[in-house]
Amino acid sequence: MVESLSSFLSSPIISLLLYPPFMLVILSITILAIILPSLFFPTRNNGSAVPLPPSPPKLPIIGNLHQLTQLPHRSLRALSDRHGPLMLLHLGRLPVLVASSPSVVREITQTHDHLFANRPFFKATHELFYRGRDVAFAPYGEYWREMKKMTILHLLSNKKVESYKQVRKEEVAFMIKEIERRTTTTAMDMAERFNALSRDVISRAVIGATTRRMWWGHSLRSLITDSSRLIGEFHVGDYIPWLGSAAGFVCGFERRLRKTFERTDKLLEEIVGERRRGMEKRKEEGDGDGTDECFLDVLLSLQEEMKCKGVVFDDMSIKAIIKDMFGAGTDSTSIPMEWAMAELLRHPTSMKMLKEEITNIVGSNETFIKEEQLAEMSYLKATVKEVLRLHPPGAIIVPRELTEDTTINGYRIPKGTMVLINAWAIGRDPKIWDSPEEFRPERFINGEGRDLGFINHGFQLLAFGAGRRSCPGIQFSVSLIELAIANLVHVFDWKPAKGEVKDIDMSEVYGLTTRKREALLLIAIRAVMQN
């Protein structure tokens, strides 16, 4: 879940071009005047006997930024095809290592994992998450270890995920009823439907109530969306510091960042305060038996314990972690659901096989599939894996930063290098996968992916990352994805609201997460149940 917060570039060259003409003129003159002779020379090794990884030619000041398109995961794969699966770029001032093969990812996230566990500094994440007080973007160290341990123990452990079974059942049932009220004629935006489902499940686990029933529900949703958009936006100051202030002012980035933080902080402060007052009231009345305890209650109750441990854990930490869980927990679950429905509609044979498997296991008269029945559904599980192979929520895993010089595959990697793992490229590598662009769930039953899971992924199936900074919410997300897709396929037949199945647009929009460019608009038809 957290690793699905991965992506950080939106369209560097387009963003640069959006600045006023005078900025481009100044930049062009600087480029021509400073280092014209070195325009097309690759990175030098500064006399070291150990070479740096292969690099494409770079421009002064902007480095390789001009080579990234609106879909960086695709342009990075094209560059890696020419320069190798271990490639060094320069994005402005930042040296950036790009990993595009399982063997390289193994070196980074297993062999040298402790060296690559830090996060690089980005202004948006630093400001929006209270200067690194969350889990996803916190610097590597004791604070991060304590926060991750606490989050897993009290929210994302297998035992806790199992305890939310009733929550998942009730929220999926609510979604089914909402769809039933609009079957046959009404077009439904499946992205919105899945987002609401994921958001309400995570809300009940984290805050103890669905967002749709709380006064702050709509506001929190929009503010989380605004924060995600800012995190995914290219900020020139992160890569070219001396341009940062002017560019941030001209683009309005600084103003929007400050405004979003202030509004989100005020709302989170009210949510935390309301829950704290409720806890104190229940304690005074002797009702604190813990039966309605949510993750926020746990965080509030642990403040004194953390203080005794010498760990700074105040309300800013709590607000940062809550924001983390909402942002990552919603997207890492809802986005794969939308891709899954799109792929199943475009591949009617796969849809038919999934329907038949479900019917054979639960019977045609069953109106709701229970979670315990999912364990027998091998084709369902293969379908979810295939969707996440082709469409990982974070096409590029959240960047890491190297904390000391090291060597990988005979190449020198300098301290401070940022690392990008192209999960999207690895999932579509023809050296790993047979017919990698095809949607074929069968490959995870009797093909090359049959032994791969989201934990034992062989560094080939990286939807949830790898290593100590991998997403700790794998089971939380997958459990809901499987339950929702199984019930939607079983209860309804589906068709596009406009055009034919072949007309479904499968293009992407890159940002904090990689989602469908066009909303998936479908019409649901109640399936005929056989006696």
> Token pair for residue 133?
């007080």
Structure tokens at 269: 């402060």
Compute CA distances 222 → 218, 219, 256, whole Å. Answer: 6, 5, 14
Per-residue model confidence as pLDDT tens for the chain (531 residues): 434 333 333 444 434 433 444 344 445 544 444 444 444 444 455 556 889 999 999 999 999 999 999 999 999 999 999 999 999 999 999 999 999 999 999 999 999 999 999 999 999 999 999 999 999 999 999 999 999 999 999 999 999 999 999 999 999 999 999 999 887 778 999 999 999 999 999 999 999 988 888 877 788 888 888 888 888 888 888 999 888 777 777 788 999 999 999 999 999 999 999 999 988 888 877 765 556 789 999 999 999 888 888 888 999 999 999 999 998 889 899 999 999 999 999 999 999 999 999 999 998 888 899 999 999 999 999 999 999 999 999 999 999 999 999 999 999 999 999 999 999 999 999 999 999 999 999 999 998 899 999 999 999 999 999 999 999 999 999 999 999 999 999 999 999 999 999 999 999 988 778 899 999 999 999 886 654
Sequence-ordered list of residues with C-beta below 8 angstroms from that of 300, at least 6 positions apart, any chain? 272, 275, 276, 279, 318
150 within domain boundaries: yes
Residue 310: per-residue pLDDT: 86
Per-position b or e across 369-383, b if 16+ CB within 10 A of its CB: bebebbeebebbbbb
CA 148, CA 219: separation in Å to the nearest integer? 27
Please indicate, yes or no, whether the overall pTM of this predicted structure exceeds 0.75.
Answer: yes
DSSP state of 523: E
531 located within any domain? no
What local confidence, expressed as pLDDT, does residue 290 receive?
A: 58
| Residues forming beta bridges with residue 508, ordered by sequence position | 516
Residue 438 lies in a domain: yes
**170 class by beta-carbon count within 10 Å (0-12 exposed, 13-18 middle, 19+ buried):** middle
What is the rounded CA–CA span in Å between residue 237 and residue 228? 18
Which residues, at least 6 apart from 527, have a Cβ–Cβ distance to it below 8 Å? 490, 491, 492, 493
DSSP of 423-448, one letter per residue?
A: HHHHHT-TTTSSSTTS--TTHHHHST
Residue 94 lies in a domain: yes
Instruction: Give residue 45's pLDDT.
Output: 58
User: Is position 192 within any domain?
Assistant: yes
Backbone φ, ψ for residue 246 (5° rounding): -65, -45
CATH assignment at residue 413? 1.10.630.10
Its domain, for residue 102, covers 3-526
Sign of the torsion formed by the C-alpha atoms of 129, 134, 136 and 138: positive
**For the chain, what is the domain count?**
1
Assess contact for 495 and 525: CB atoms under 8 A: yes
